[in-house]
Amino acid sequence: MERSLMKGNEALAEAAMRAGCKCFFGYPITPQTEISAYLAKKMASAGGLFLQAESEVAAINMVLGAASTGTRVMTSSSSPGISLKSEGISYIAGSDLPCVIINVQRGGPGLGGIQPSQADYWQATKGLGHGDFHVLVFAPASVQEMVDMVVRAFDKADEYRMPAMILADGLLGQMMEPVTFPEIKDNAPEKPWATNGHKNKREHNIINSLYLKPDVLENSVVERFERYKKIEETETDAECYLCDDADIVVCAFGATARVAKSAVNHAREKGIKAGLFRPKTLWPFPVKEINEASKNAKVLLSVEMSMGQMVDDIKLAINCSKPVEFYGRTGGVIPKPTEILAEIEKLGGVK
């Protein structure tokens, strides 16, 4: 199996092509631009399409168009650009179209900064646009997971006919790590619903999110939520590290989880029973996994590159059965292992 040293953004782009992504529509924004640059170089010779749109708004609507034809399609942006895409994401979800959206997060709100952040957790998991809908949200924590999760995102988006998001951050996008590309197949299923020309062989297909009769619209939303329920039961994923006997379970995702893991190791060296719970899917949130991971814990500590956007989900997942503390840095500041260790020590009773 080939092993290469690659930037997270480039590895993700390569994996998307191998997963059968045939169209990519993007717009430049730091710190995700390497995805566009890589695909601009490679897509055409691989029989795919790279197109730079005039805006993030146009790019996501080009995604809507290509997805309507049944084509595997992706777009990529960073925080302010994702806000611009949210209109289109709502329409894509309301039209039951599969696609993959990458958010290499940077600090916000507003123009914010260009350093790594996780402050789009709420947006990704609860508010990616108007109306009742969810998108699948995967949170990679390594360059290898940028590869593995984008492949999974394409498959699951097709399986459930819904958008899937990779919620990465500037650190994962920019860092280089060894990565392997497993045998990746384009697992795209048949899409009899696609608007790719009826060839005079079937009735015309319609891709649409407009339902003027309230009961018809309600039924379409309820049907979608029945799918979501199945996803919540079957698609959660998480890593549990030294959780079995842990008094303190640190909860962190993405790049922050790597820093937190170092802090957990340091704590163990000092005799503090700490563990790490790392959600790999943020929607659906791994509810049964976090309950299992924290069954012996006295306290949970959420560590994030935001002001604590994941805390409520943790509290709800464990039904507020244990205290959930928080430590975070925001605005593009990455928490240091020593800072997290100090928080663990505080909770572990070390003065």
* Contacts to another protein by CB under 8 A: 22-23, 25, 49, 51, 53-55, 57-59, 61-69, 71, 73, 87-88, 91, 95, 195-201, 204-210
Q: Least Å distance between CB 62 and another protein?
A: 4
Q: Least Å distance between CB 66 and another protein?
A: 4
Tell me: cis bond preceding 31? Omega within 30 of 0 counts. yes
Q: Which DSSP letter does residue 44 get?
A: G
Q: Which DSSP letter does residue 45 get?
A: G
Distances (CA, A) of 219 to 8, 166, 213, 214: 41, 29, 10, 9
Two structure tokens written together for 217: 């619209």
Q: Least Å distance between CB 290 and another protein?
A: 37
Q: Which is nearer to another protein, 198 or 288 (CB)?
A: 198
List Cβ neighbours of 202 (8 Å cut-off, separation of 6 or more).
none
Q: By CB neighbour count within 10 A (0-12 exposed, 13-18 middle, 19+ buried), where does 197 fall?
A: exposed
Q: Do 285 and 313 meet the contact criterion of CB atoms below 8 Å apart? A: yes
Q: Least Å distance between CB 132 and another protein?
A: 17
Q: Which is nearer to another protein, 67 or 263 (CB)?
A: 67
Q: Which is nearer to another protein, 175 or 194 (CB)?
A: 194
Q: Least Å distance between CB 53 and another protein?
A: 7
Two structure tokens written together for 348: 């572990």
Q: Which is nearer to another protein, 65 or 308 (CB)?
A: 65
Report the candidate in 154, 155, 79, 151 with the shortest Cα–Cα distance to residue 120: 79
Q: Which is nearer to another protein, 57 or 334 (CB)?
A: 57
165: left (phi over 0), alpha (psi -120 to 50) or beta: beta
Stated as kind and residue range, the H or E segment containing 166 is strand 163-169
Q: Which is nearer to another protein, 22 or 261 (CB)?
A: 22
Q: Least Å distance between CB 188 and another protein?
A: 13
